Amino acid sequence: MWRRASSHLQTLAGQWWRSGPQLLCLSAQDTLQSRGLASITSSPFRKTSPLLSSESDNVPTKKKVEDVMPIATGHEREELEGELEGTKRFTDMDSPVGPFGTKETPAVVKSYYNKRIVGCPGGEGEDEHDVVWFWLEKDKPHECPVCSQYFVLEVIGEGGDPEAHSDDEHH
């Protein structure tokens, strides 16, 4: 291999010296054409459109979840299907934002189940603290032990136990 490379370099050097001291410069396209590879573009990268962008809407075929993420299941799959259809799955459950929760007006956290894990980051400024995690249950207001913020759970739909299994499953 090295012999071929060195002989190729000697041939190039000989051509250069015979033609005079001028700069030997070939474009990438010229090099590809001389080697019979003209169909290859000069750039190794090609532009692709993002999977869930408006640019990809110009494609005549309708995308499926398998095209975007073949291993998506459960809530992740439902969320991707909704996004491909132009809807959002969790529109009725945005992150709780609002004033500091007090006993009279607690911070409301929404859930599809009768209980949910909630994290309290504290209030603004000096009242801010490391996140304290706790279970928030339906009809049981909770007070953060660090900042005394109150939380209540609002169940969306029928509710239910998040850890419940169907009666058909026996372990």
Each residue's pLDDT tens digit, 70-129: 777 887 888 888 888 877 766 655 666 778 899 999 999 998 899 999 999 888 888 889
Residue 19 lies in a domain: no
- The pLDDT of residue 140: 95
Dihedral angle, C-alpha 6, 7, 11, 16, nearest 10 °: 10
- The pLDDT of residue 7: 54
Domain boundary among 64, 85, 106: 85
Task: Please count the structural domains in the chain.
Answer: 2
Same domain as 118, residue 59: no
Binding residues for Zn(2+): 120, 129, 144, 147
Same domain as 117, residue 138: yes
Binding residues: 120, 129, 144, 147
Which domain covers residue 101, as residue numbers?
A: 92-162
- For residue range 21-41, what is the model confidence (pLDDT) as tens digits? 444 444 444 444 555 544 444
What's 123's domain CATH number? 2.60.11.10
Residue 112 token pair: 């599809």
Same domain as 152, residue 109: yes
Measured CA to CA, the distance from residue 122 to residue 119 in angstroms comes to 9
Quote the DSSP letter at residue 106: P
Measured CA to CA, the distance from residue 14 to residue 166 in angstroms comes to 82
- The pLDDT of residue 153: 94
Residue 167 lies in a domain: no
Residue 23 lies in a domain: no
Query: Do 92 and 80 form a contact (C-beta atoms < 8 A)?
Result: no
